[in-house]
Chains A and B, each alone.
Chain A
Amino acid sequence: MKIEVNQKEFHQCINTVRKGVSTKTTLPILSGILLKTEGDQLKLIGTDLEIGIESFVDANIIESGEIVLPANYFGNIIKELPNDMVRMEVNQSNNTAFIKCGHSKFNINGFAADEFPTLPEIESGYSFSIAQSKFKDIINQVEFAISQDESKPFLNGGLLLLEEGEIKLVATDTYRLSYCHSPLEDQEVKLESIIPAKTIKELSRLLDHSEEELEIIITDNQILFSFSGIIMISRLIEGQFPNYKYVIPNKSSIQAKADKENLLRAIKRAALLARQDANIIKLNFAQDELVITANAPEVGQAFERVGISLSGDETEIAFNANYLIDALKAVDNEEVTLELSGPLAPGVVKSQSGDYICVIMPVRSA
Protein backbone atom coordinates (compact mmCIF):
# COMPACT_ATOMS: atom_id res chain seq x y z
CA MET A 1 0.00 0.00 0.00
CA LYS A 2 1.30 3.44 -0.94
CA ILE A 3 -0.79 6.53 -0.23
CA GLU A 4 -0.63 10.29 0.24
CA VAL A 5 -3.08 12.01 2.59
CA ASN A 6 -3.49 15.53 3.93
CA GLN A 7 -2.33 15.55 7.57
CA LYS A 8 -5.27 17.58 8.91
CA GLU A 9 -7.92 15.42 7.21
CA PHE A 10 -6.06 12.26 8.21
CA HIS A 11 -5.89 13.35 11.86
CA GLN A 12 -9.59 14.24 11.88
CA CYS A 13 -10.51 10.84 10.44
CA ILE A 14 -8.30 8.97 12.93
CA ASN A 15 -9.84 10.94 15.79
CA THR A 16 -13.32 9.89 14.63
CA VAL A 17 -12.63 6.16 14.55
CA ARG A 18 -10.31 6.18 17.57
CA LYS A 19 -13.25 6.32 19.97
CA GLY A 20 -14.39 2.94 18.73
CA VAL A 21 -11.00 1.40 19.51
CA SER A 22 -10.86 -0.81 22.52
CA THR A 23 -8.77 0.46 25.45
CA LYS A 24 -9.15 -2.61 27.65
CA THR A 25 -8.85 -5.74 25.58
CA THR A 26 -7.18 -9.11 25.64
CA LEU A 27 -7.03 -9.10 21.82
CA PRO A 28 -4.08 -6.86 20.83
CA ILE A 29 -5.42 -6.32 17.29
CA LEU A 30 -8.47 -4.50 18.73
CA SER A 31 -6.17 -1.75 20.00
CA GLY A 32 -5.46 -0.91 16.40
CA ILE A 33 -7.10 0.96 13.51
CA LEU A 34 -7.68 -0.81 10.20
CA LEU A 35 -6.54 1.20 7.18
CA LYS A 36 -7.77 -0.03 3.83
CA THR A 37 -7.75 1.59 0.40
CA GLU A 38 -11.14 1.78 -1.34
CA GLY A 39 -11.31 3.51 -4.72
CA ASP A 40 -9.75 6.94 -4.28
CA GLN A 41 -10.35 6.93 -0.54
CA LEU A 42 -8.75 5.43 2.52
CA LYS A 43 -11.15 3.62 4.85
CA LEU A 44 -10.43 3.61 8.60
CA ILE A 45 -12.17 1.32 11.11
CA GLY A 46 -11.92 1.12 14.89
CA THR A 47 -13.88 -1.40 16.93
CA ASP A 48 -14.05 -2.95 20.38
CA LEU A 49 -16.55 -5.59 19.15
CA GLU A 50 -19.43 -3.72 20.83
CA ILE A 51 -19.20 -0.55 18.80
CA GLY A 52 -17.55 -0.06 15.43
CA ILE A 53 -16.79 3.27 13.76
CA GLU A 54 -15.93 3.54 10.08
CA SER A 55 -14.81 6.72 8.35
CA PHE A 56 -13.25 7.72 5.02
CA VAL A 57 -10.59 10.23 4.03
CA ASP A 58 -9.71 11.38 0.51
CA ALA A 59 -6.29 10.11 -0.47
CA ASN A 60 -3.96 9.83 -3.42
CA ILE A 61 -3.83 6.04 -3.77
CA ILE A 62 -0.62 5.05 -5.51
CA GLU A 63 -0.86 1.36 -4.57
CA SER A 64 -3.79 -0.32 -2.83
CA GLY A 65 -3.49 -2.42 0.33
CA GLU A 66 -4.45 -2.69 3.98
CA ILE A 67 -2.90 -2.81 7.46
CA VAL A 68 -3.83 -2.50 11.13
CA LEU A 69 -1.78 0.06 13.09
CA PRO A 70 -1.77 0.63 16.87
CA ALA A 71 -4.26 3.47 17.42
CA ASN A 72 -2.37 5.14 20.22
CA TYR A 73 1.04 5.54 18.56
CA PHE A 74 -0.32 6.01 15.04
CA GLY A 75 -2.92 8.59 16.14
CA ASN A 76 -0.42 10.61 18.17
CA ILE A 77 2.19 10.57 15.39
CA ILE A 78 -0.25 11.86 12.76
CA LYS A 79 -1.53 14.47 15.22
CA GLU A 80 1.94 15.91 15.78
CA LEU A 81 3.02 15.93 12.12
CA PRO A 82 3.14 19.29 10.27
CA ASN A 83 0.10 20.28 8.19
CA ASP A 84 1.42 18.85 4.94
CA MET A 85 0.92 15.76 2.78
CA VAL A 86 1.60 12.54 4.70
CA ARG A 87 3.15 9.77 2.64
CA MET A 88 2.61 6.25 3.88
CA GLU A 89 4.10 3.02 2.57
CA VAL A 90 3.10 -0.35 3.94
CA ASN A 91 5.23 -3.44 3.72
CA GLN A 92 2.58 -6.20 3.62
CA SER A 93 5.13 -8.99 4.13
CA ASN A 94 6.16 -7.92 7.65
CA ASN A 95 3.16 -5.63 8.45
CA THR A 96 5.13 -2.43 8.98
CA ALA A 97 4.23 1.08 7.91
CA PHE A 98 6.67 3.79 6.89
CA ILE A 99 5.30 7.30 7.45
CA LYS A 100 6.97 10.39 5.98
CA CYS A 101 5.89 14.00 6.28
CA GLY A 102 8.30 16.91 5.77
CA HIS A 103 11.50 15.97 7.57
CA SER A 104 9.78 13.43 9.86
CA LYS A 105 10.04 9.72 9.25
CA PHE A 106 8.48 6.90 11.27
CA ASN A 107 8.41 3.14 11.03
CA ILE A 108 5.56 1.47 12.91
CA ASN A 109 4.92 -2.21 13.44
CA GLY A 110 1.34 -3.22 12.81
CA PHE A 111 -0.85 -6.31 12.45
CA ALA A 112 -2.09 -8.27 9.45
CA ALA A 113 -5.36 -6.76 8.22
CA ASP A 114 -7.03 -10.13 7.64
CA GLU A 115 -6.97 -10.77 11.41
CA PHE A 116 -9.06 -7.65 12.06
CA PRO A 117 -12.75 -8.43 12.75
CA THR A 118 -15.09 -7.33 10.00
CA LEU A 119 -17.97 -5.07 10.97
CA PRO A 120 -21.35 -6.79 10.60
CA GLU A 121 -23.27 -6.11 7.41
CA ILE A 122 -26.61 -4.51 8.22
CA GLU A 123 -28.89 -4.81 5.24
CA SER A 124 -32.30 -5.58 6.68
CA GLY A 125 -33.97 -3.77 9.55
CA TYR A 126 -36.11 -0.67 10.02
CA SER A 127 -34.59 2.44 8.51
CA PHE A 128 -35.45 6.11 9.10
CA SER A 129 -33.81 9.53 8.89
CA ILE A 130 -33.65 12.49 11.22
CA ALA A 131 -31.74 15.80 11.17
CA GLN A 132 -28.37 15.46 12.93
CA SER A 133 -28.95 18.52 15.13
CA LYS A 134 -32.34 17.21 16.24
CA PHE A 135 -30.95 13.84 17.29
CA LYS A 136 -27.94 15.46 18.96
CA ASP A 137 -30.30 17.66 21.02
CA ILE A 138 -32.41 14.64 22.02
CA ILE A 139 -29.30 12.71 23.11
CA ASN A 140 -27.88 15.65 25.07
CA GLN A 141 -31.13 16.06 26.97
CA VAL A 142 -31.24 12.45 28.11
CA GLU A 143 -27.66 11.15 28.28
CA PHE A 144 -26.86 12.36 31.81
CA ALA A 145 -29.50 10.16 33.47
CA ILE A 146 -28.10 6.85 32.16
CA SER A 147 -27.28 4.52 35.04
CA GLN A 148 -23.63 3.66 35.75
CA ASP A 149 -24.64 0.59 37.79
CA GLU A 150 -23.27 -2.34 35.80
CA SER A 151 -25.35 -4.87 37.72
CA LYS A 152 -28.39 -3.71 35.72
CA PRO A 153 -27.23 -3.68 32.09
CA PHE A 154 -30.67 -2.71 30.74
CA LEU A 155 -30.27 0.65 32.52
CA ASN A 156 -26.77 1.25 31.08
CA GLY A 157 -28.28 2.79 27.96
CA GLY A 158 -31.04 4.95 26.59
CA LEU A 159 -34.36 3.51 25.46
CA LEU A 160 -35.04 4.59 21.88
CA LEU A 161 -38.72 4.42 21.03
CA LEU A 162 -40.52 4.95 17.79
CA GLU A 163 -44.25 5.19 18.35
CA GLU A 164 -47.24 7.43 17.71
CA GLY A 165 -45.37 9.31 14.97
CA GLU A 166 -42.66 10.34 17.40
CA ILE A 167 -39.09 9.50 18.31
CA LYS A 168 -38.54 9.20 22.06
CA LEU A 169 -35.45 8.66 24.17
CA VAL A 170 -35.59 7.72 27.86
CA ALA A 171 -32.87 7.10 30.44
CA THR A 172 -32.99 6.48 34.17
CA ASP A 173 -30.76 5.54 37.08
CA THR A 174 -33.86 4.92 39.28
CA TYR A 175 -33.29 8.19 41.17
CA ARG A 176 -34.06 10.39 38.16
CA LEU A 177 -35.52 9.85 34.74
CA SER A 178 -35.10 12.01 31.68
CA TYR A 179 -37.41 11.79 28.71
CA CYS A 180 -37.39 13.62 25.42
CA HIS A 181 -39.71 13.27 22.45
CA SER A 182 -39.93 14.85 19.04
CA PRO A 183 -42.19 14.35 16.02
CA LEU A 184 -40.82 12.14 13.26
CA GLU A 185 -42.21 12.39 9.75
CA ASP A 186 -43.51 9.33 7.87
CA GLN A 187 -43.01 7.09 10.86
CA GLU A 188 -45.56 4.33 11.26
CA VAL A 189 -43.90 1.40 13.01
CA LYS A 190 -43.65 0.85 16.75
CA LEU A 191 -40.29 -0.36 17.95
CA GLU A 192 -38.00 0.01 20.90
CA SER A 193 -34.35 -0.73 21.58
CA ILE A 194 -31.80 0.11 24.25
CA ILE A 195 -28.70 1.93 22.93
CA PRO A 196 -25.55 1.51 25.06
CA ALA A 197 -24.28 4.57 26.94
CA LYS A 198 -20.93 4.53 25.10
CA THR A 199 -22.65 4.66 21.71
CA ILE A 200 -24.82 7.56 22.84
CA LYS A 201 -21.78 9.42 24.18
CA GLU A 202 -19.78 8.97 20.99
CA LEU A 203 -22.76 9.93 18.82
CA SER A 204 -23.22 13.10 20.80
CA ARG A 205 -19.53 13.92 20.17
CA LEU A 206 -19.59 13.13 16.45
CA LEU A 207 -22.95 14.59 15.39
CA ASP A 208 -23.00 18.15 14.02
CA HIS A 209 -25.38 20.97 14.80
CA SER A 210 -26.47 20.81 11.17
CA GLU A 211 -29.64 19.96 9.30
CA GLU A 212 -27.79 17.18 7.45
CA GLU A 213 -29.57 13.84 7.60
CA LEU A 214 -28.64 11.06 10.00
CA GLU A 215 -29.78 7.66 8.77
CA ILE A 216 -30.57 5.06 11.41
CA ILE A 217 -31.12 1.36 10.74
CA ILE A 218 -32.34 -0.81 13.61
CA THR A 219 -32.25 -4.61 13.63
CA ASP A 220 -33.04 -7.02 16.45
CA ASN A 221 -29.66 -6.71 18.11
CA GLN A 222 -27.76 -4.00 16.26
CA ILE A 223 -28.15 -0.36 15.30
CA LEU A 224 -26.40 1.54 12.52
CA PHE A 225 -25.92 5.30 12.30
CA SER A 226 -24.78 6.80 9.02
CA PHE A 227 -23.94 10.52 8.79
CA SER A 228 -21.35 12.88 7.28
CA GLY A 229 -19.36 10.00 5.77
CA ILE A 230 -19.19 8.18 9.11
CA ILE A 231 -20.78 4.81 9.83
CA MET A 232 -21.23 3.71 13.42
CA ILE A 233 -22.50 0.23 14.22
CA SER A 234 -23.34 -0.73 17.76
CA ARG A 235 -24.83 -3.72 19.49
CA LEU A 236 -28.08 -3.11 21.34
CA ILE A 237 -28.57 -3.92 25.00
CA GLU A 238 -30.74 -6.96 25.56
CA GLY A 239 -33.35 -6.91 28.29
CA GLN A 240 -36.51 -5.15 29.25
CA PHE A 241 -36.29 -1.43 30.00
CA PRO A 242 -38.54 -0.62 32.97
CA ASN A 243 -41.94 0.90 32.30
CA TYR A 244 -41.02 4.56 32.44
CA LYS A 245 -44.59 5.75 31.95
CA TYR A 246 -45.77 5.07 35.48
CA VAL A 247 -42.83 6.99 36.91
CA ILE A 248 -43.78 10.22 35.15
CA PRO A 249 -46.47 11.85 37.32
CA ASN A 250 -49.57 12.63 35.29
CA LYS A 251 -50.81 15.30 37.69
CA SER A 252 -49.26 17.82 40.04
CA SER A 253 -50.68 20.14 42.67
CA ILE A 254 -47.97 22.82 42.46
CA GLN A 255 -46.49 24.42 39.35
CA ALA A 256 -43.74 27.02 39.39
CA LYS A 257 -42.46 28.82 36.29
CA ALA A 258 -39.03 30.42 36.36
CA ASP A 259 -36.34 31.84 34.10
CA LYS A 260 -34.10 28.87 33.37
CA GLU A 261 -30.76 30.71 33.39
CA ASN A 262 -31.50 32.58 36.64
CA LEU A 263 -32.64 29.40 38.35
CA LEU A 264 -29.68 27.36 37.10
CA ARG A 265 -27.15 29.98 38.21
CA ALA A 266 -28.76 30.30 41.65
CA ILE A 267 -28.75 26.52 42.16
CA LYS A 268 -25.13 26.27 40.99
CA ARG A 269 -24.12 28.93 43.54
CA ALA A 270 -26.07 27.29 46.37
CA ALA A 271 -24.59 23.91 45.40
CA LEU A 272 -21.12 25.26 46.21
CA LEU A 273 -21.97 24.95 49.88
CA ALA A 274 -24.11 21.83 49.51
CA ARG A 275 -21.18 19.54 48.76
CA GLN A 276 -20.53 18.81 52.41
CA ASP A 277 -24.16 17.88 52.99
CA ALA A 278 -24.56 15.21 50.28
CA ASN A 279 -25.31 17.99 47.76
CA ILE A 280 -28.67 18.68 49.36
CA ILE A 281 -30.31 22.03 48.70
CA LYS A 282 -33.68 23.13 50.03
CA LEU A 283 -36.18 24.86 47.80
CA ASN A 284 -38.83 27.00 49.47
CA PHE A 285 -41.61 27.90 47.06
CA ALA A 286 -43.54 31.09 47.91
CA GLN A 287 -46.10 32.89 45.72
CA ASP A 288 -43.65 35.04 43.76
CA GLU A 289 -40.25 33.81 44.80
CA LEU A 290 -38.24 30.68 45.28
CA VAL A 291 -35.75 30.64 48.14
CA ILE A 292 -32.88 28.20 47.72
CA THR A 293 -30.79 27.38 50.78
CA ALA A 294 -27.81 25.16 51.46
CA ASN A 295 -26.17 24.51 54.78
CA ALA A 296 -22.60 23.38 55.36
CA PRO A 297 -22.19 23.37 59.16
CA GLU A 298 -18.41 23.84 59.06
CA VAL A 299 -18.35 26.36 56.20
CA GLY A 300 -21.52 28.42 56.29
CA GLN A 301 -24.91 28.86 54.66
CA ALA A 302 -26.06 29.82 51.15
CA PHE A 303 -29.22 31.79 50.47
CA GLU A 304 -30.58 32.52 46.99
CA ARG A 305 -33.79 34.11 45.74
CA VAL A 306 -35.27 33.57 42.29
CA GLY A 307 -38.46 35.14 40.95
CA ILE A 308 -41.13 32.58 40.03
CA SER A 309 -44.79 32.45 39.19
CA LEU A 310 -46.44 29.86 41.43
CA SER A 311 -49.71 28.09 40.98
CA GLY A 312 -50.77 25.97 43.96
CA ASP A 313 -49.81 25.95 47.63
CA GLU A 314 -46.51 27.19 48.99
CA THR A 315 -44.20 24.28 49.79
CA GLU A 316 -40.68 23.20 50.72
CA ILE A 317 -38.72 20.38 49.11
CA ALA A 318 -35.11 19.21 49.09
CA PHE A 319 -33.19 17.86 46.10
CA ASN A 320 -29.73 16.66 45.23
CA ALA A 321 -28.34 19.86 43.64
CA ASN A 322 -26.43 17.96 40.93
CA TYR A 323 -29.60 16.24 39.73
CA LEU A 324 -31.36 19.60 39.42
CA ILE A 325 -28.38 21.20 37.66
CA ASP A 326 -28.21 18.33 35.11
CA ALA A 327 -31.93 18.55 34.47
CA LEU A 328 -31.93 22.33 34.05
CA LYS A 329 -28.87 22.30 31.76
CA ALA A 330 -30.80 20.01 29.41
CA VAL A 331 -33.68 22.49 29.06
CA ASP A 332 -33.28 24.40 25.80
CA ASN A 333 -35.98 27.02 26.46
CA GLU A 334 -35.76 30.30 28.33
CA GLU A 335 -38.53 29.34 30.72
CA VAL A 336 -38.71 26.20 32.81
CA THR A 337 -41.58 24.69 34.80
CA LEU A 338 -41.14 22.81 38.07
CA GLU A 339 -44.07 20.59 38.98
CA LEU A 340 -44.44 19.20 42.50
CA SER A 341 -46.98 17.22 44.50
CA GLY A 342 -45.50 17.44 47.99
CA PRO A 343 -42.14 17.28 49.74
CA LEU A 344 -41.74 13.52 49.26
CA ALA A 345 -43.29 13.06 45.82
CA PRO A 346 -41.10 13.15 42.69
CA GLY A 347 -40.46 16.61 41.24
CA VAL A 348 -40.72 17.26 37.52
CA VAL A 349 -38.62 19.67 35.46
CA LYS A 350 -40.35 20.49 32.18
CA SER A 351 -39.25 22.57 29.23
CA GLN A 352 -41.56 25.32 28.02
CA SER A 353 -42.16 23.45 24.76
CA GLY A 354 -43.15 20.32 26.73
CA ASP A 355 -40.93 17.98 24.72
CA TYR A 356 -38.49 17.43 27.58
CA ILE A 357 -39.30 16.04 31.03
CA CYS A 358 -36.97 15.13 33.87
CA VAL A 359 -38.40 13.43 36.95
CA ILE A 360 -36.26 13.70 40.08
CA MET A 361 -36.73 11.99 43.41
CA PRO A 362 -36.53 14.49 46.29
CA VAL A 363 -34.35 13.97 49.34
CA ARG A 364 -35.82 13.59 52.81
CA SER A 365 -34.29 16.47 54.73
CA ALA A 366 -34.32 16.85 58.49
Chain B
Amino acid sequence: MEEIISLLAHFQEELQVLTNDFQKMKNTIYNIYKENEKLKEENQNLKKLLFTKEEEEEPDQEGGMGYDNLTRLYREGFHVCHLNFGEGRESDCLFCMGLLDNNLDEVEEESSDK
Protein backbone atom coordinates (compact mmCIF):
# COMPACT_ATOMS: atom_id res chain seq x y z
CA MET B 1 0.00 0.00 0.00
CA GLU B 2 2.85 2.33 0.93
CA GLU B 3 4.38 1.62 -2.37
CA ILE B 4 1.22 2.72 -4.18
CA ILE B 5 0.98 5.95 -2.13
CA SER B 6 4.61 6.70 -2.94
CA LEU B 7 3.94 6.09 -6.62
CA LEU B 8 0.91 8.38 -6.56
CA ALA B 9 2.99 11.12 -4.91
CA HIS B 10 5.65 10.70 -7.59
CA PHE B 11 3.00 10.77 -10.29
CA GLN B 12 1.57 14.00 -8.79
CA GLU B 13 5.02 15.60 -8.92
CA GLU B 14 5.46 14.60 -12.54
CA LEU B 15 2.06 16.01 -13.39
CA GLN B 16 3.04 19.29 -11.73
CA VAL B 17 6.21 19.45 -13.82
CA LEU B 18 4.22 18.72 -16.99
CA THR B 19 1.66 21.41 -16.13
CA ASN B 20 4.45 23.92 -15.60
CA ASP B 21 6.06 22.99 -18.93
CA PHE B 22 2.70 23.21 -20.65
CA GLN B 23 2.13 26.70 -19.23
CA LYS B 24 5.57 27.77 -20.45
CA MET B 25 4.85 26.47 -23.96
CA LYS B 26 1.48 28.21 -23.96
CA ASN B 27 3.15 31.50 -23.09
CA THR B 28 5.79 31.06 -25.79
CA ILE B 29 3.19 30.24 -28.46
CA TYR B 30 1.11 33.23 -27.43
CA ASN B 31 4.18 35.46 -27.77
CA ILE B 32 4.95 34.01 -31.22
CA TYR B 33 1.33 34.54 -32.26
CA LYS B 34 1.44 38.18 -31.14
CA GLU B 35 4.75 38.72 -32.94
CA ASN B 36 3.38 37.12 -36.12
CA GLU B 37 0.33 39.40 -36.05
CA LYS B 38 2.61 42.40 -35.64
CA LEU B 39 4.87 41.29 -38.51
CA LYS B 40 1.89 40.68 -40.79
CA GLU B 41 0.61 44.18 -40.13
CA GLU B 42 4.05 45.64 -40.70
CA ASN B 43 4.46 43.67 -43.95
CA GLN B 44 1.10 44.91 -45.18
CA ASN B 45 2.06 48.51 -44.45
CA LEU B 46 5.42 48.11 -46.18
CA LYS B 47 3.76 46.57 -49.28
CA LYS B 48 1.30 49.44 -49.40
CA LEU B 49 4.15 51.93 -49.13
CA LEU B 50 6.14 50.14 -51.85
CA PHE B 51 3.25 50.00 -54.35
CA THR B 52 2.34 53.65 -53.72
CA LYS B 53 5.94 54.60 -54.32
CA GLU B 54 6.20 52.50 -57.53
CA GLU B 55 2.96 53.91 -58.88
CA GLU B 56 4.15 57.45 -58.18
CA GLU B 57 7.51 56.85 -59.82
CA GLU B 58 6.42 54.97 -62.99
CA PRO B 59 2.78 55.63 -63.69
CA ASP B 60 3.09 55.30 -67.53
CA GLN B 61 5.33 52.28 -68.01
CA GLU B 62 3.00 49.34 -67.35
CA GLY B 63 3.16 48.05 -70.94
CA GLY B 64 6.95 48.30 -71.04
CA MET B 65 7.33 46.58 -67.69
CA GLY B 66 5.03 43.75 -68.77
CA TYR B 67 7.04 43.29 -71.93
CA ASP B 68 10.33 43.31 -69.98
CA ASN B 69 9.01 40.72 -67.56
CA LEU B 70 7.86 38.45 -70.39
CA THR B 71 11.17 38.84 -72.20
CA ARG B 72 13.09 38.04 -69.02
CA LEU B 73 10.92 34.97 -68.41
CA TYR B 74 11.46 33.84 -72.01
CA ARG B 75 15.23 34.36 -71.77
CA GLU B 76 15.30 32.34 -68.57
CA GLY B 77 14.00 29.39 -70.62
CA PHE B 78 10.23 29.48 -70.13
CA HIS B 79 7.37 29.74 -72.60
CA VAL B 80 5.42 32.99 -72.47
CA CYS B 81 2.89 32.13 -75.19
CA HIS B 82 -0.60 31.17 -74.03
CA LEU B 83 -0.15 27.64 -75.42
CA ASN B 84 2.60 26.67 -72.98
CA PHE B 85 2.82 29.61 -70.56
CA GLY B 86 5.29 28.95 -67.74
CA GLU B 87 6.49 25.60 -69.09
CA GLY B 88 10.20 25.12 -69.67
CA ARG B 89 11.16 25.36 -73.33
CA GLU B 90 13.76 23.29 -75.16
CA SER B 91 14.32 25.70 -78.01
CA ASP B 92 12.89 28.94 -79.37
CA CYS B 93 9.11 28.98 -79.78
CA LEU B 94 7.34 30.61 -82.73
CA PHE B 95 4.36 31.70 -80.66
CA CYS B 96 6.46 33.19 -77.85
CA MET B 97 8.50 35.12 -80.43
CA GLY B 98 5.30 36.23 -82.15
CA LEU B 99 3.87 37.44 -78.83
CA LEU B 100 7.05 39.28 -77.85
CA ASP B 101 7.40 40.90 -81.28
CA ASN B 102 3.76 42.02 -81.24
CA ASN B 103 4.12 43.39 -77.69
CA LEU B 104 7.28 45.21 -78.67
CA ASP B 105 5.49 46.79 -81.65
CA GLU B 106 2.62 47.90 -79.36
CA VAL B 107 5.00 49.35 -76.77
CA GLU B 108 6.92 51.18 -79.48
CA GLU B 109 3.69 52.51 -80.99
CA GLU B 110 2.48 53.70 -77.57
CA SER B 111 5.75 55.47 -76.80
CA SER B 112 5.84 57.10 -80.26
CA ASP B 113 2.24 58.32 -79.76
CA LYS B 114 3.31 60.03 -76.52
Q: Determine which of B82, B97, B102 lies in contact with A361 in the assembled complex, contact meaning CB atoms within 8 Å.
A: B97
With both beta carbons as reference points, the residue of chain B lying nearest to A155 in the complex is identified as B83
Contact with B along A233-267 (1 / 0, CB 8 A): 00000000010001100000000000000000000
Interface residues of B in 10-26 (CB under 8 A from A): none
With both beta carbons as reference points, the residue of chain A lying nearest to B83 in the complex is identified as A242
**CB of B84 within 8 A of chain A?**
yes
**Contacting residues, chain A, for B95 (C-beta < 8 A):** 174, 242, 247
Interface residues of A in 307-362 (CB under 8 A from B): 344-346, 359, 361-362
In contact, A359 and B94 (Cβ under 8 angstroms): yes
Given known A246-B102, A363-B91, A364-B92, contact A346–B97 (CB-CB < 8 A) = yes
In contact, A361 and B98 (Cβ under 8 angstroms): no
**CB of B93 within 8 A of chain A?**
yes
**CB of A98 within 8 A of chain B?**
no
In contact, B83 and A346 (Cβ under 8 angstroms): no
In contact, B94 and A176 (Cβ under 8 angstroms): yes
A146 to B34, CA, bound (A): 59
A172 to B83, CA, bound (A): 12
With both beta carbons as reference points, the residue of chain A lying nearest to B102 in the complex is identified as A246
A175 to B91, CA, bound (A): 8
Interface residues of A in 257-294 (CB under 8 A from B): none
In contact, B93 and A361 (Cβ under 8 angstroms): yes
**Contacting residues, chain A, for B99 (C-beta < 8 A):** 246
**Contacting residues, chain A, for B82 (C-beta < 8 A):** 242
Given known A346-B94, A364-B92, contact A174–B84 (CB-CB < 8 A) = yes
A152 to B98, CA, bound (A): 19
A242 to B98, CA, bound (A): 11
**CB of B73 within 8 A of chain A?**
no
**Contacting residues, chain A, for B98 (C-beta < 8 A):** 246-247
In contact, A361 and B83 (Cβ under 8 angstroms): no
Smallest CB separation, B90 vs chain A (Å): 9
Smallest CB separation, A149 vs chain B (Å): 9
**Contacting residues, chain A, for B81 (C-beta < 8 A):** 174, 242
A246 to B98, CA, bound (A): 6
A246 to B99, CA, bound (A): 8
Contact with B along A167-200 (1 / 0, CB 8 A): 0000010111100000000000000000000000
Listed A/B pairs (29) with beta-carbon separation below 8 Å: A152-B84, A174-B83, A174-B84, A174-B94, A174-B95, A175-B92, A175-B93, A175-B94, A176-B94, A177-B94, A242-B81, A242-B82, A242-B83, A242-B95, A246-B98, A246-B99, A247-B98, A344-B92, A345-B97, A346-B94, A346-B97, A361-B91, A361-B92, A361-B93, A361-B94, A361-B97, A362-B92, A363-B92, A364-B91
Chain B interface residues toward A at CB < 8 A: 81-84, 91-95, 97-99, 102
Given contacts A174-B83, A174-B94, 8 further A-B contacts (CB under 8 A): A152-B84, A174-B81, A174-B84, A175-B91, A242-B81, A246-B99, A247-B95, A361-B92
